[in-house]
Amino acid sequence: MEIKEYGEFGLIKHLTEQFALKNKSSLYGVGDDCAVIDNDPAEGKTVVTTDLLLEGVHFDLTYCPLKHLGYKACVVNFSDVYAMMGTPRQITVSLGISKRFKVEDLDELYAGMKLACDVYGVDLVGGDTSASMTGLTISITCIGVAKEPVYRNGAKPNDLICVSGDLGASYMGLQLLEREKAAYYQSHNDWVRQGGPKSGQPEPAFEPKFNGREYLLERQLKPEARKDIVAKLREAGIQPTAMMDVSDGLSSELLHICSQSKVGCRIYEERIPIDYQTAVQAEEFNLNVTTCAMNGGEDYELLFTVPLAQSEAIQQISGIRLIGHITDERLGTAMITRDGNSEIALKAQGWNAFKE
Amino acid sequence: MEIKEYGEFGLIKHLTEQFALKNKSSLYGVGDDCAVIDNDPAEGKTVVTTDLLLEGVHFDLTYCPLKHLGYKACVVNFSDVYAMMGTPRQITVSLGISKRFKVEDLDELYAGMKLACDVYGVDLVGGDTSASMTGLTISITCIGVAKEPVYRNGAKPNDLICVSGDLGASYMGLQLLEREKAAYYQSHNDWVRQGGPKSGQPEPAFEPKFNGREYLLERQLKPEARKDIVAKLREAGIQPTAMMDVSDGLSSELLHICSQSKVGCRIYEERIPIDYQTAVQAEEFNLNVTTCAMNGGEDYELLFTVPLAQSEAIQQISGIRLIGHITDERLGTAMITRDGNSEIALKAQGWNAFKE
């Protein structure tokens, strides 16, 4: 079905009417000049984050299903709210849609957003929908509450550096998807060169080699935000001194925390959590797995620091790894290699969309 | 200067460091996973609105200076907050930037945003900046407070329909800019056809015919949000029963209020406020000025309804015009023509970006 058959207001109604408001604080959602939110002051302060996703820059619809994209677009925002020790409550979604998209495509995208909103208890309360000249544009703003927001600037010397889950898998998933995309085009082009439809031969079926790599694909295509880790920290009464989520790579994020907190750090290569599939895939691609974990990005894990006194408490929480400690600023920021003999200065090689 | 010389974080710092936080509620701005806002509950509820502006769809950089664009991109969001009887306090700005833009271009854009934030007392507290494959994408979310938000759904039969300022000027400004853009290309192409640089003749200077039409251009390129009208209503103790801003055209907005309030309306053609320049320009273009005022859009005036009992109070406020009244739903939505003899049913011919 063509989008123009609905028109702007009809389309918004069609896409959003399945989203019922769940949160008490969501007083009024889609349908007026503004959404209206009534936060209970006892729940803390309001936190706001926003992410812009552009086709061809942040996602490739060749291998990213629209439902997954909708889910991920929401989750990356929720992740920023959890990274403040907050709870996401509302999102607004703005879309720029080119003519090649049909209503059914948007239904898929919104099905993913609805799933994310249901899983994380978030309400869709507003947005803007427009035609675009080229490609798909998704801009999401997420609003949440945080009783005592945790910033990036509170890390102190001797604090322990912790990270949730494992790192580098999403990046390896992306490499895998890119490899299979190239292989598919190769196979298709070979067939075209041999005459294509005129050859009388059907195009050979292309089977991407994803077997046993499901975890890597899931980490790239359908990441989760660490709501569970924030809940466990709260339960244990642990208030991190600094926290952020790992979206640009561990190295880049550690540098943010250190520069904003005016401290240095030492992390241990052997302590960096890496999944088995990540390691196997890195070897297959002949990549250094530590480099992938340090600079890959899109992990959406939580990186945080806690006072040394909480060492025992933090080690009792599953899914959290101690990877190092904060130092005086003058000691700089470095990783101690696996053999324990050398230090490598951290560099922000994280994703930079403005690079050539 | 090339954007890549800054990188993403350097660019954000460069663009936003001139924005000092002005509002007490803006606890933390740019630089963390989220901005943190601490609204005083006595100030009311939180309101949120968002707008996505895409190059080639919502703006044309041929005639829209970047500084004006930055100003307008903010103001259209503030307008939505005022349309709830609210006060805008914070914005987040997400940008997608193609390679043809230089740092100096973004400086211009942000100078316009800063001016708008200064004029309206709003803080820039966050955003996202990314490369884009094509053109400029601007996504702004505005957060404000509203003690008693005014929705679109509260209009009652016999309420008076009011509108601020005048209508249709922005649309006429756009037509004028489009005409002069076409004339410029005509003049340039004529010169090229006659040999261009090879002819030895310099390209004739092109002088757009804007004289005496400054108001129309200003309404299109640098609109204002009606902060003043909201202040006057508050001062007079008038609480509208329904309100929205006129962005898609009076006709479309009246239909929104009527359908959401489940009422009908009658407005009087002769009461629709139209500026002298708008009328002159419409005649020059051989357009019906009422049609321009009803369907042109981008006026960013306030359309609202008040109880009949407030007739006198509302007429004492300058800059507000009574244009009709709300009726029972069964009477439908119509405009009574200037001669008083016929009724024309309102139609939403407002701007529809999904039309062919």
**Segment A279-289 mean pLDDT:** 95
Hey, are the CB atoms on A55 and B96 less than 8 Å from each other?
no
Structure tokens at B132: 């884009």
Hey, are the CB atoms on A141 and B50 less than 8 Å from each other?
yes
Q: Measured between CA atoms, how close is A283 to chain B, in angstroms?
A: 31
Can you tell me the distance from the alpha carbon of A270 to that of B237, in angstroms, rounded to the nearest whole number?
Answer: 68
Taking the CA atoms of B54, B57, B62 and B64 in sequence, report the sign of the dihedral they define.
negative
Can you tell me the distance from the alpha carbon of B291 to that of B346, in angstroms, rounded to the nearest whole number?
Answer: 11
Using alpha carbons only, give the angle B135, B140, B141 rounded to the nearest 5 degrees.
155
What's phi and psi for A320, nearest 5 deg? Answer: -125, 135
Q: Is A116 on the interface with B (CB under 8 A)?
A: no
Looking at residue B227, its pLDDT comes to: 98
Contacts of B127 (CB under 8 A, 6+ apart): A50, B12, B16, B30, B92, B93, B94, B95
Q: Measured between CA atoms, how close is B288 to chain A, in angstroms?
A: 25
Helices (H), chain A: 7-16, 66-82, 103-120, 169-193, 214-221, 227-235, 250-261, 276-284, 289-295, 311-315
Q: What is the pTM of this model?
A: 0.94
Q: Is A92 on the interface with B (CB under 8 A)?
A: yes
Q: How many CA atoms lie within 13 A of A306 on its CB side?
A: 22
Question: Mean pLDDT over all residues of chain A?
Answer: 94
- Count of CB atoms within 10 A of residue B235's CB? 9
**Segment A138-156 mean pLDDT:** 97
What's phi and psi for A184, nearest 5 deg? Answer: -65, -45
Can you tell me the distance from the alpha carbon of A352 to that of B19, in angstroms, rounded to the nearest whole number?
Answer: 24
In terms of Cβ atoms closer than 10 Å to its own Cβ (0-12, 13-18, 19+), residue A287 is middle
Which of A38, A47, A245 is facing B35, going by the closest CB pair? A47
pLDDT tens digits for range A328-342: 999 999 999 999 889
Hey, are the CB atoms on B55 and A133 less than 8 Å from each other?
yes
Hey, are the CB atoms on A55 and B133 less than 8 Å from each other?
yes
Which of A52, A131, A151 is facing B28, going by the closest CB pair? A151
Chain B neighbors of A135, CB-CB under 8 A = 133-134
Q: Which residue of A has its CA nearest to B137?
A: A137
For residue A356, pLDDT over 50 is answered with: no
CB contact at 8 A, B223 and B64: no
Looking at residue B356, its pLDDT comes to: 46
Distances (CA, A) of B113 to A351, B121, B214: 27, 12, 22
Q: What is the DSSP code (8-state) at residue A339?
A: T
Contacts of A113 (CB under 8 A, 6+ apart): A70, A71, A73, A74, A91, A93, A124
CB contact at 8 A, A354 and B3: yes
Q: Which of A136, A114, A162, A123 is nearest to A3 (CA)?
A: A136
pLDDT tens digits for range A34-58: 999 999 999 999 999 999 999 999 9
Q: Could you give the domains of chain B?
A: 3-146 (3.30.1330.10), 160-174+216-345 (3.90.650.10)
Q: Is A98 on the interface with B (CB under 8 A)?
A: no
Can you tell me the distance from the alpha carbon of A129 to that of A85, in angstroms, rounded to the nearest whole number?
Answer: 31
Q: What is the DSSP code (8-state) at residue A337?
A: -
Hey, are the CB atoms on A48 and B92 less than 8 Å from each other?
yes
Q: Are strands A264-268 and A333-336 parallel, antiparallel or unpaired?
A: parallel
Q: Which of A249, A350, A8, A193 is nearest to B355 (CA)?
A: A8
Q: Which residues of chain B have pLDDT under 50?
A: 351, 356
**Number of helices (H) and strands (E), helices first, in chain B?**
10, 13
Q: Is B184 on the interface with A (CB under 8 A)?
A: no
Q: Which residue of B has its CA nearest to A137?
A: B137
Q: Which of B291, B221, B35 is nearest to A143 (CA)?
A: B35
Chain B neighbors of A130, CB-CB under 8 A = 52, 54, 57-58, 353
CB contact at 8 A, A149 and B72: no
Q: Measured between CA atoms, how close is B203 to chain A, in angstroms?
A: 32
What's phi and psi for B144, nearest 5 deg? Answer: -145, -175
Chain B neighbors of A48, CB-CB under 8 A = 34-37, 90, 92, 125-126, 141, 143
Q: What strand order describes the sheet that includes A242-245?
A: A242-245, A302-306, A160-164, A320-327, A264-268, A333-336, A343-345
Can you tell me the distance from the alpha carbon of B71 to that of B328, in angstroms, rounded to the nearest whole number?
Answer: 40
Hey, are the CB atoms on B52 and A137 less than 8 Å from each other?
yes
- Scanning the structure block, which residue is given the tokens 């041929």? B62
Q: How far apart are the first and last CA of chain B?
A: 38
Structure tokens at B96: 């997608």
Can you tell me the distance from the alpha carbon of B173 to that of B210, in angstroms, rounded to the nearest whole number?
Answer: 10
Chain A neighbors of B145, CB-CB under 8 A = none
> Residues 199 to 218 of A: which have CB under 8 A from any B CB?
none
Question: Residue A61: left (phi > 0), alpha (psi -120 to 50), or beta?
Answer: alpha
- Model confidence band, residue A1 (pLDDT cutoffs 50, 70, 90): confident
Can you tell me the distance from the alpha carbon of A277 to that of A292, in angstroms, rounded to the nearest whole number?
Answer: 13
- Scanning the structure block, which residue is given the tokens 């720029």? A96
CB contact at 8 A, A10 and B252: no
Hey, are the CB atoms on A133 and B57 less than 8 Å from each other?
yes
